[in-house]
Structure 1
Amino acid sequence: MTVPLQSVLIVVSAAIFAVTCQIVPDSYLDEVFHIPQTQQYCAGHYDVWDDKITTPPGLYYLGVIYARALSLFTTSPTCSVKALRSLSLVGQLSVLPLVLSLFPVGHRHLSSRTVTLLQLFPTLYFFSFLYYTDVWSTIFALLSIGLSTRATQASWLSVPLKIAVGSMAVAIRQTNIIWVLYALAMEVLTVFVYPDEKGKDRADDTWFLAANARLEDVRSPADLVNAVIGATVRVWRGLSSPTKGPKALKIVCSYGPTVAGFAAFIVINGGITLGDKSNHVPGTHIPQIFYFATFTCALSIPSILSILSQTLTILFFRPLTFAIVTGIITIAIRATTIAHPFVLADNRHYIFYLWRRVLNATPWSRYLFAPGYAIAIYLVFARAVRKDKILSSLVYFGACAAVLIPSPLIECRYFIVPYLLWRIRVATLKAEDQGERGENIIAEYVEIAWYAIVNFVTIGLFLGYSFEWPSDPGVRQRFMW
């Protein structure tokens, strides 16, 4: 099914791209910063910089390389709006599937259905037709993580590749440093924690059992503590082992330069944000986790439905726990909700209407969703990946929290990498647990159809409907994520 699925996706995407460039031929929204800046670089003006740009210039250097490559095959302008937008589409259709092939499912790769499903993820797919940072930021972040899954087979030749990939991920979007650190943590787990010591009986190794416990085995907070202690002990054993010393050095060399370079950037720049710092001040926005969990459930209905009834049953028989969690969520909503000026003012984004008409319709509206958030969090971070190992889940949740909570701006684009990693893990665990059973295949096709519907609506609305601001007559505004 690989050829038919990918062929259909390529043909449909090419048609959407052509229509997009015809209906919206000029730079739109953030493109008004990204495209002129890349064009300056294409013209050799590397000393020119727009102070309103908030991300590093990685995408613009990539755009220049792409434009130079295109110039070898065409006489048409290669640094135009259309040409630069095509860079996103090329990444989405050709590079992303290769990156996803790095993620193992037992002794196999992700199925073609799952790869197509991930490519169609609505927020990512939407920006495949515009010159935004999202597609290539996602590609390099996932590539860094994907390479870490191959740590046990990798040679020293992988070190410069990991440095280059991690550095490029951060150079396109600085918050990708979190995903580089996630890759580092997962590689440490892969090399030192999860493999059994040669000749060691697992049944007699308390720390091995603790470090390899799964979420479904958690009965109390002590189980989480034991897993962390077990991992610490096993890493210490690994570092003390003469056979694993070179592996530790290889990990340090693979990620140290990127982390050190980012630290230097923070010191020199005086913070993580480039340009327009007043509107991008990090904060403590815990409800971002709630929004992400709800968003994930909404876009994974076919996967979630099969465990929803079991989840509700479990929560029904644990009313006190459910009430406590709901109470904590309510307190977090009360204490840390942030209404960013961009959310309040920009009516081109769906979040504007969701905030005004749902979350903030009345002074108490936002609190009504606390029980739903509790269910969504349980579904996403526990139930759906209950077969996952505790440590992998803790590292994933920590990375999601580090990416989302400091952001005062509610942006569905920030959910892309957290969602894709979650969905890859769900697919991996299902395949390992159930094999290629018929209901999984049907569920994935249903999910692909669901994504296609969401994409049809959002892209159709973007292209088919426009409006004007009274303050900016003659300029057509469009709805988008």
Structure 2
Amino acid sequence: MGLPNLFPAIGFAFYAVVSKLLFDQIYLTSNMIVDEEFHMPLGQRYCRYRFREWDPKVTTLPGLYLSSTLLLGPLGLCSKYWLRATSLIFSGINLVLLYMLVSKTVKGQWQKVITTLAIAFLPPLYFLAHVYYTDVVSLTTILLLISFHERRYHYFAALAGFASIICRQTNVVFVGIYGGTYVLREIYGFWAKHTEPYVKAGRFPLKDMKPFIKDFLKDPMRILRHTTPKFWVDSACYISVLVFFITFVFLNGGIVVGDKSAHTVSINIPQIFYFSVFCMIFAWPFFVCEIFNFFDFVTRQKLVICLSMVVALLIVHFNTVVHPYLLADNRHFIFYVWNRFYGKYPWFKYSMVPIYVFALYVVIKTIWDKSDISFSILFFVGVGTLLASQSLLELRYFLLPYIIFRLKVKNKDQPNFNVGLEFFTHILLNMSAFKIFFTRPVYWQGYNDIQRIIW
């Protein structure tokens, strides 16, 4: 076996060894970690096939618990250790899926491995690989959805999308994004075959958007009659998942199961700003490379920048939402960020506006592709709606959009050492976060277990 072929094995072995050592240490030092007090009892019940029992404080569907049932139930491994191991196992699966997705866009064996590890070691995500939370399993289903979608296995992509909703209801947004991307590209393709015979298949360029929309609105049947049975079957797969979700919301009386009062839908547009800063912090080497491009954009588009700044300032002033949980739960890093900066200094939230504008510029530039606008438009609309409807500032909400954003970063446009800087940054942040976790206990009145500070 040549050295290049050893890179993935070495990288995956490094991830496995480090993760197992940390996993065991967390197990030995921490009984219940934050929301595990709700997830762990239900996981044990489902693992023992007691499906009729439920905790009304749990707000997500039982995808996490069902995954434990499938993995651990037949073996009778229903202890806290093995339930947590569910997340660790799926994090390993995610590592493989990420490597497959990264390999489609990144050249060079070591670049593929380091990029994959950098994403897998994303600090808020990596910590969750060691606790019994929904996020890691949820990510697995979305990565499967993306992988099947890119390979045009739309039936399996829809099944993965269905499983993702069972893990977390808000994942319906990503089913809509990728299912909608397929439908838009295909319908455009049927239109283009009779107007531009040499069009590149599978892409919806910006230059054709106006004539396409005009023709479709004028006579949709002229385009639709050229469609194929395969298109309708594949589209029906995605549509059936969306119909299932709509039916569930109607019968349930809302998207949230259990405690609906703590997770009400609101308008919180600054969440989009926070997400852009999240991207900037964890992918900072790529953002640094865009600073001069941003300054060039500012000099060419002064009016756009001025309007963006004014709109952002108005949004921050009139629409900053502070959820009670954000102020009350000192077991999360974001609690300290908010109380020491946003909440302490009234001017701080306004001073962040230029950073928001820059960070959004880079995010939009990364996602936007004028040679194929189908995904870009749906991503901006879907993710923007998803984030702006969340009243609680919670870093976990940013994980899936971030990973999709990160997979869109074109390494060929970046210096080779950037991914190395990203990787070592994530390693250092993880080391710092775990040190705080192990050495800074938090004591809550009425709780026998020591609480810990987590992402």
CA drift at 1:167: 1.4
Structure 1 counterpart of 2:29: 23
Q: How big is each residue's C-alpha offset from its partner over 1:233-284, in whole Å with a ceiling of 9 and x where there is no partner?
A: 798765221xx32132122331122111111111111001111111110000
Structure 2 counterpart of 1:120: 121
Structure 1 counterpart of 2:9: 3
Q: Per the alignment, do residues 354 and 237 of structure 1 end up closer, same or farther by CA in structure 2, a change over 3 Å counting?
A: farther
Contact 1:385–1:425, Cα closer than 8 Å, also in 2: no
| Structure-to-structure mapping, 1:363-378, within 5 angstroms | 363-378=346-361
Whether 1:311 aligns to 2:303 is no
Contact 2:442–2:453, Cα closer than 8 Å, also in 1: no
Q: How big is each residue's C-alpha offset from its partner over 1:313-355, in whole Å with a ceiling of 9 and x where there is no partner?
A: 3214433321210110111112222110000111111111111
CA drift at 1:171: 0.5
- Aligned partners of 1:210 and 1:226: how far apart in 2? 15
Structure 2 counterpart of 1:280: 263
Which of 272, 283, 287 aligns to 1:300? It is: 283
Q: Per the alignment, do residues 384 and 309 of structure 1 end up closer, same or farther by CA in structure 2, a change over 3 Å counting?
A: farther
Whether 1:32 aligns to 2:37 is yes
Structure 1 counterpart of 2:421: 446
Which of 136, 140, 162 aligns to 1:167? It is: 162
**What is the one-letter code of the residue matched to 1:86?**
A
Q: How big is each residue's C-alpha offset from its partner over 1:65-101, in whole Å with a ceiling of 9 and x where there is no partner?
A: 11135x2xxxxx6111110111111111134423652
**What is the one-letter code of the residue matched to 2:168?**
R
2:49 is paired with a residue of what secondary structure?
coil
Structure 2 counterpart of 1:218: none
Structure 2 counterpart of 1:91: 90
Whether 1:391 aligns to 2:384 is no
Which of 33, 45, 48 aligns to 1:43? It is: 48
Contact 1:227–1:390, Cα closer than 8 Å, also in 2: no
Whether 1:82 aligns to 2:81 is yes
Which of 236, 239, 251 aligns to 1:253? It is: 236
| Structure-to-structure mapping, 1:140-289, within 5 angstroms | 140-151=141-152, 154=153, 159=155, 161-193=156-188, 197=192, 201=196, 211-213=204-206, 226=210, 229=213, 239-241=224-226, 244-289=227-272
| More off after superposition, 102-111 vs 131-140 | 102-111
**What is the one-letter code of the residue matched to 2:225?**
S
Contact 2:276–2:363, Cα closer than 8 Å, also in 1: yes
Q: Per the alignment, do residues 440 and 191 of structure 1 end up closer, same or farther by CA in structure 2, a change over 3 Å counting?
A: farther
Contact 1:96–1:139, Cα closer than 8 Å, also in 2: no
- Aligned partners of 1:101 and 1:164: how far apart in 2? 19
Structure 2 counterpart of 1:111: 112
- Aligned partners of 2:117 and 2:211: how far apart in 1? 35
- Aligned partners of 2:357 and 2:319: how far apart in 1? 17
Q: Per the alignment, do residues 22 and 268 of structure 1 end up closer, same or farther by CA in structure 2, a change over 3 Å counting?
A: same
Contact 1:149–1:187, Cα closer than 8 Å, also in 2: no
Structure 1 counterpart of 2:137: 136
| More off after superposition, 329-338 vs 51-60 | 329-338
Q: Per the alignment, do residues 15 and 375 of structure 1 end up closer, same or farther by CA in structure 2, a change over 3 Å counting?
A: same
Per the normalisation by structure 1, the TM-score is 0.85
Per the normalisation by structure 2, the TM-score is 0.89
Q: Per the alignment, do residues 227 and 371 of structure 1 end up closer, same or farther by CA in structure 2, a change over 3 Å counting?
A: farther
- Aligned partners of 1:11 and 1:235: how far apart in 2? 56
Whether 1:477 aligns to 2:425 is no
Q: Per the alignment, do residues 473 and 284 of structure 1 end up closer, same or farther by CA in structure 2, a change over 3 Å counting?
A: closer
Contact 2:191–2:212, Cα closer than 8 Å, also in 1: no
CA drift at 1:408: 0.2
CA drift at 1:459: 2.0
- Aligned partners of 2:267 and 2:208: how far apart in 1? 25
**What is the one-letter code of the residue matched to 1:374?**
V
- Aligned partners of 1:190 and 1:456: how far apart in 2? 44
2:51 is paired with a residue of what secondary structure?
coil
**What is the one-letter code of the residue matched to 1:19?**
Q
Which of 428, 431, 435 aligns to 1:460? It is: 435
- Aligned partners of 1:302 and 1:342: how far apart in 2? 32
| Structure-to-structure mapping, 1:322-361, within 5 angstroms | 322-361=305-344
Q: Per the alignment, do residues 397 and 235 of structure 1 end up closer, same or farther by CA in structure 2, a change over 3 Å counting?
A: farther
Which of 59, 63, 66 aligns to 2:71? It is: 66
| More off after superposition, 277-286 vs 383-392 | 383-392
2:409 is paired with a residue of what secondary structure?
helix
Q: CA RMSD in A?
A: 3.0
- Aligned partners of 1:263 and 1:421: how far apart in 2? 25
User: With CA pairs under 8 Å and 6+ residues apart, which has the higher RCO, 1 or 2?
Assistant: 2
**What is the one-letter code of the residue matched to 2:449?**
V
- Aligned partners of 2:441 and 2:212: how far apart in 1? 53
Contact 1:208–1:230, Cα closer than 8 Å, also in 2: no
CA drift at 1:118: 1.6
- Aligned partners of 2:215 and 2:431: how far apart in 1? 46
Structure 1 counterpart of 2:396: 413
- Aligned partners of 2:112 and 2:350: how far apart in 1? 40
Structure 2 counterpart of 1:403: 386
| More off after superposition, 381-390 vs 224-233 | 224-233
Whether 1:13 aligns to 2:19 is yes
**What is the one-letter code of the residue matched to 2:54?**
W
CA drift at 1:452: 0.9
CA drift at 1:10: 1.2
- Aligned partners of 1:80 and 1:104: how far apart in 2? 37
Contact 1:99–1:143, Cα closer than 8 Å, also in 2: no
Q: Per the alignment, do residues 227 and 440 of structure 1 end up closer, same or farther by CA in structure 2, a change over 3 Å counting?
A: farther
Q: How big is each residue's C-alpha offset from its partner over 1:412-461, in whole Å with a ceiling of 9 and x where there is no partner?
A: 1111110000110113xx44xx5xxxx64322122111111111111221
- Aligned partners of 2:147 and 2:224: how far apart in 1? 24
- Aligned partners of 1:106 and 1:344: how far apart in 2? 41
Q: Per the alignment, do residues 455 and 321 of structure 1 end up closer, same or farther by CA in structure 2, a change over 3 Å counting?
A: same
- Aligned partners of 1:105 and 1:265: how far apart in 2? 36
Structure 1 counterpart of 2:4: none
1:101 is paired with a residue of what secondary structure?
helix
In structure 1, runs of 5+ residues without a counterpart are 72-76, 214-222
Say how many residue pairs are matched: 446
CA drift at 1:309: 1.9
Contact 1:149–1:186, Cα closer than 8 Å, also in 2: no
**What is the one-letter code of the residue matched to 2:29?**
I
**What is the one-letter code of the residue matched to 1:29?**
V
- Aligned partners of 2:326 and 2:212: how far apart in 1? 39
Structure 1 counterpart of 2:3: none
- Aligned partners of 1:164 and 1:473: how far apart in 2? 41
